[in-house]
């Protein structure tokens, strides 16, 4: 009595076949060309859709700039204010929070 599954054996036996080198090469190149073409079409479609969103995104960025540039703490003018200017804004605070969240995510999930 054999412990091998006859259906599994027939599946493996039918999978073993000699492939013609030229036919295999032609089929592989055709498949890769199709995949490259699809990737280029997909990238072009994504680029076109993003270009349609460029004007509304630019308007949003222009509207958000004064809010992001607002100082958190009023500092006297001088070199200390200039040194702390990047961190003394809503954008700086948002950037620090996002970088902290990214670091925590990398530490926890990788």
Q: Which residue has the higher pLDDT, 47 or 13?
A: 47
Contacts of residue 76, Cβ cutoff 8 Å, sequence gap at least 6:
none
CA distance 40 to 91: 36
Say whether 48 sits in a helix, a strand or coil.
Answer: helix
Backbone angles phi, psi at 74, to 5 degrees: -75, 120
At residue 87, the pLDDT reads 84
CA distance 53 to 59: 10
Q: What is the pLDDT of residues 18-56, one digit of tens each?
A: 667 787 788 888 889 999 999 999 999 999 998 998 999
Per the DSSP assignment, residues forming a β-bridge with 71 are 89
Per the DSSP assignment, residues forming a β-bridge with 74 are none
């Amino acid at each position: 009595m054999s412990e091998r599954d006859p259906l599994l054996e027939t599946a493996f036996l039918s999978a073993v076949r000699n492939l013609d080198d030229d036919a295999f090469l032609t089929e592989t190149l055709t498949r890769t060309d199709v995949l490259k073409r699809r990737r280029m079409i997909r990238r072009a479609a994504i680029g076109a859709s993003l270009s349609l969103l460029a004007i509304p995104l630019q308007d949003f960025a222009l509207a958000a700039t004064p809010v992001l540039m607002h100082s958190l703490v009023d500092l006297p003018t001088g070199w200390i204010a200039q040194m702390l200017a990047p961190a003394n804004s809503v954008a700086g605070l948002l950037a620090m929070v996002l970088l902290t969240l990214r670091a925590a995510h990398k530490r926890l999930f990788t």
